[in-house]
Structure 1
């Protein structure tokens, strides 16, 4: 579990609350794996964008991605529980993450609006909207805080420099299966461990049995590659994984839960300097 779990935990719990309560609110529509072995794709039509296109993404040292966790079905309109954007520069050992949480899904740890995180090999920083009065700044230094208290695990700053969608692609098992090629690109189906796409939450931290079950599950994902080869999308069906940790197990049959990533590689250089005005986490009464 990582420091981003502080924000993502709220989203994971919100998913369960929505599914089990049958909430009728409608929302908005919804790094280091370059050397991992990659299965070859099944034979695809000659006009298909080749699966090998993903190799350029695995080799990219700088890029960005958006991640959306959403629900459809269950008598609800499409609902986005959380969205985040990430920029990474692996040469500079720097990653910045902006997490958007809807007001309906907010908690004290993840209030409605935005949270921001910066990770390097030596620092874990968080931007919080409500800390100016108590801390004198929005930026909080979490580097020396007790990891177990904040995240439920003992992690070092460098452990957070993971490009999640590329880790997911690198872990694919079997042969990617070509589904279709249209003017929008070529769609492939892959299978990968479900826990790599699952939003970590306190529901998992407090339930070792659910953790073990999800660790043993596979998830099916669709990957869309475009001819230009500068971006790709991944949509992971995590419905069965969420059913596993639902408190009552009563998830409507027509509910679908997905994590979706849109990845862009080789973006222009951006500043990787750390903010100058940073307060110790103890100003928040933690640590």
Structure 2
């Protein structure tokens, strides 16, 4: 067999094996790999490269080496899940850099971090003053987790005494001009709803590059043709406007009628609707 065919066959074989080994080792991102996993990945890639470009090497030996460098990290990961002490040994422990607003200089030196390195990590977390930080810890993956002081944290709905309703994550309902049925079902929507919304925009599904819907039933689309202007979603603003119009109509009916009982009913319902408008306005963006 010609050597170039051997190289092709070896490449495909080892690539497929390496692909499945990587999947079995887990789905961690590169930035989350610990030192041991990082080294194992490099060695596995090196073994594949050597056994691919050199047809004179013994493929069986290469597969044995790949298996060893696969099974050892797999076993380490397995025992790490079972034992905290073993996990600390194999993956390392977190190191506190700032505690109670004070920089831990000894811990910086222990990890080989300079003051400039610390400030750079803080800037990565959108913090430009070390005095704004209450707590910061260096994770085993090398990322710095930062907790700003309470007065420097952004306001939340809880801080304002609000109790917003639960919100589902937006779903991609159209991709590359094709409807995705499962995301539509996750929002309790169907293709008829989607076609109706696209008709409102005077757009066909084939022209949609990406379409996303939220749990309020608002559809936003991006078209293949960037020169075509797409109207903004109007469902939520339209709902608030409709409620305000109904409340104004009730007030007009109360003023127009001469029947005291009808006037009382109109005024009572107008006040109820006004109260409902005040309650939902924060959630409808008004």
Q: TM-score, normalised by structure 2?
A: 0.18
- Relative to its length, the structure with more helix (as a share) is 2
- Relative to its length, the structure with more strand (as a share) is 1
User: Structure with the greater relative contact order (CA < 8 A, sep ≥ 6): 1 or 2?
Assistant: 1
